Amino acid sequence: MMNQILIAGFGGQGVLFAGKFLANKGLIEDKQVSWLPSYGPEMRGGTANCSVIVGDEPVGSPIVNKPTTLVAMNLPSLKKYENDVVPGGLILVDSSLIAEKVDRDDVRVCYVPATRLANDAGFSTLANMILMGKLLKESDDMSFDHTEDALKKVIPARKMNLLDVNLKALETGYGYAE
Amino acid sequence: MSEKVLMKGNEAIAEAAILAGCRHYFGYPITPQTEIAAYMAKKMPKIGGCFLQAESEIAAINMVYGVAGAGKRVMTSSSSPGISLKSEGLSYLAGSDLPAFVVNVQRGGPGLGGIQPSQSDYFQATKGGGHGDYKMIVLAPASVQEMASLTVKGFDLADKYRMTAMILADGTMGQMMEPVSLSAVDVKDYDKPWAVTGTKMQRKHNIVNSLSLVPEELEQLNFARFERYKEVEANEVMYEEYLMDDAELCVVAFGIAARVSKNAINEARKAGVKVGMIRPITLWPFPKAPLLAAADRVRQFISVELNMGQMVEDIELAIRCKKPVTLCNRVGGMIPDPQQVLEAILNADKGGNA
């Protein structure tokens, strides 16, 4: 089983951080992993995406061309990538920022108002981790195990005071039912 | 530090260089390799090393020349346009027979080009970007682990043969993170009696110089240098064979192109196509012998590259044009997807040569 995950949104939404979390979680769980960011001249507000591969076999190309899971954090990203998702794949949509619906019936779609949930809970910058929580819940071969250990690997030491809110955001997403 | 950690390829190069005993880094920032300089800036002062951001690429490579002349392990890193600027220095390093370690994390060109991944500096690296008869050892990593291990290897080979070893990577290799284990390195100490370290009034002056105005002497220097290059060709070729045992088609690819090709080969195998890959790990010396041996067994070679087919020439020379070589490529910062490579394989399987 190879999870080919594409996380896409605006720069500043924590797209790369969310991907690092997944990759580190996979590493802790002895899976084969890779993480590849889009890199470019864009800064905050520009487009950002990253390819994360987590699976049991050695990773070939680290570039996710045909995602098994797409996490769309803004409309341009959804439009750009929704047709690349493999049939039977999963699309997670931040429905607070994306009003449109996915125009396919051969994929599973979860609409999570991640940005609103994050604002309501008082951690407005953590919509990304709410979506990661939902991703863990909806992916067959993923679980909530080792989330805290993985977070400790990706949160810089000087910001470790943010561990608890990150964990809470993940729990919020994991427990969210549409 | 043998535990596996997730690291960017650029950071893995920097950490491996430090483990290999490099305490001098000179560079000038350029995307997509800047993480190397950033890592060195943070780390070097803490371990008694020297990180210096030079005023230009040309200055940086000449600082490398200075430290190399003093017999210390030293490196610089850049990306395509920056390597062009350093090429004069690379020629001088070769002319002075100095060991140095240089990293090129390639971006699309020519000119300033773009900042996305590319392999279009293949000729520049393997045929010499600077003037004069010289070679560099060119290493092409295809994983973050190899970014680290080939860095350690590169420093060793540079010292062993008194020449420049270059890592020829690309933007994806520099930017991607993969698990890497970095263990302590057993650094071999090479005797460097030629180094300019001060005579202490006990020996004659050593002179490090690439100027030689007597043609008879300069000729002998060139001959002697190429005798050393022959040893490198005989001893230091590295490559990986993937599913070549029964292969009737042979993909040749390095770096990110090899990673993409592996996916395509696995798909083609599922469809019953007998295809394998020879992945050069050293681009110079080029793995001529395994390619020539394969030429007797396979029907066709497919070169997958992020350039206009620069490696095709080396493959054709290696196999003495015994079999057709086709090209599957993207350029300008684009990367072929596995589907494109698969189609090239399937087309070759049907006997297509284009």
% residues pLDDT > 90 (chain B): 96
A55 touching B (Cβ < 8 Å): no
Q: Sign of the CA dihedral B294, B298, B299, B300?
A: negative
Same domain, B250 and B321: yes
| Distance of residue B267 Cα from the nearest chain A Cα, in angstroms | 12
CA distance B27 to B53: 5
Using alpha carbons only, how large is chain A's radius of gyration in Å? 15
Q: Sign of the CA dihedral A62, A66, A72, A76?
A: positive
Same domain, B267 and B229: no
Confidence tier at A44 by pLDDT (50, 70, 90): low
Confidence tier at B353 by pLDDT (50, 70, 90): low
pLDDT score recorded for residue B2? 63
Residue B98 belongs to some domain of the structure: yes
Instruction: Select from B235, B266, B288 the last residue of a domain.
Output: B235
CA distance B244 to A35: 29
Same domain, B247 and B213: no
CATH number (domain holding residue B65): 3.40.50.970
Write the residue in B115, B172, B266 that is nearest to A62 by C-beta: B172
The boundaries of the domain holding residue B31 are 5-235
Same domain, B291 and B216: no
**DSSP code, position A59:** P
Taking only residues 23 to 52 of chain A, the set having a beta carbon closer than 8 angstroms to any beta carbon of chain B reads 23-24, 27, 33-37, 39-41
Q: What is the mean pLDDT of chain B?
A: 96
pLDDT score recorded for residue B1? 46
Same domain, B195 and B267: no
Same domain, B229 and B256: no
Q: Summarize pLDDT for A103-117 with one digit per residue, the tens.
A: 999 999 999 999 999
CATH number (domain holding residue B267): 3.40.50.920
pLDDT score recorded for residue B354? 53
Q: Summarize pLDDT for B122-180 with one digit per residue, the tens.
A: 999 999 889 999 999 999 999 999 999 999 999 999 999 999 999 999 999 999 999 99
Q: Summarize pLDDT for B238-288 with one digit per residue, the tens.
A: 999 999 999 999 999 999 999 999 999 999 999 999 999 999 999 999 999
% residues pLDDT > 70 (chain A): 97
pLDDT score recorded for residue A111? 98
Burial (0-12, 13-18, 19+ Cβ within 10 Å), B93: buried
Mean pLDDT of B230-238: 98
Q: Specify the number of domains making up chain A.
A: 1
Sheet-wide strand order for B137-139: B50-53, B24-27, B74-78, B100-106, B164-170, B137-139, B282-284
Asked if residue A131 has pLDDT above 80, the reply is yes
Asked if residue A95 has pLDDT above 50, the reply is yes
Does B176 sit within 8 Å of A62, measured CB to CB?
yes
Instruction: Select from B203, B235, B267 the last residue of a domain.
Output: B235
Taking only residues 153 to 172 of chain A, the set having a beta carbon closer than 8 angstroms to any beta carbon of chain B reads 153
Q: Specify the number of domains making up chain B.
A: 2
Residue B354 belongs to some domain of the structure: no
Q: What is the mean pLDDT of chain A?
A: 95
Mean pLDDT of A30-43: 86
Mean pLDDT of B82-109: 98
Residue B209 belongs to some domain of the structure: yes
SS3 content of chain A, % helix, strand, coil (to 5): 40, 20, 40
Confidence tier at A11 by pLDDT (50, 70, 90): confident
Query: What's CA A7's distance to the chain center, in Å?
Result: 5
Same domain, B255 and B315: yes
Asked if residue B42 has pLDDT above 90, the reply is yes
Instruction: Select from B235, B261, B296 the last residue of a domain.
Output: B235
Same domain, B299 and B284: yes
CATH number (domain holding residue A37): 3.40.920.10
Does B177 sit within 8 Å of A20, measured CB to CB?
yes
Same domain, B231 and B280: no
The boundaries of the domain holding residue A112 are 2-175
Same domain, B290 and B183: no
Residue B82 belongs to some domain of the structure: yes
pLDDT score recorded for residue B296? 97
Closest of A4, A177, A7 to residue A92, by C-alpha: A7
| Distance of residue A41 Cα from the nearest chain B Cα, in angstroms | 8
Does B31 sit within 8 Å of A39, measured CB to CB?
yes
Amino acid at position A79, single letter:
K
pLDDT score recorded for residue B244? 98
Same domain, B161 and B289: no
Using a CB-CB distance cutoff of 8 angstroms, which residues of chain A are in contact with residue B337? Answer: 61, 63, 65
Using a CB-CB distance cutoff of 8 angstroms, which residues of chain A are in contact with residue B179? Answer: 27, 33
Same domain, B37 and B52: yes
Write the residue in B179, B263, B266 that is nearest to A33 by C-beta: B179
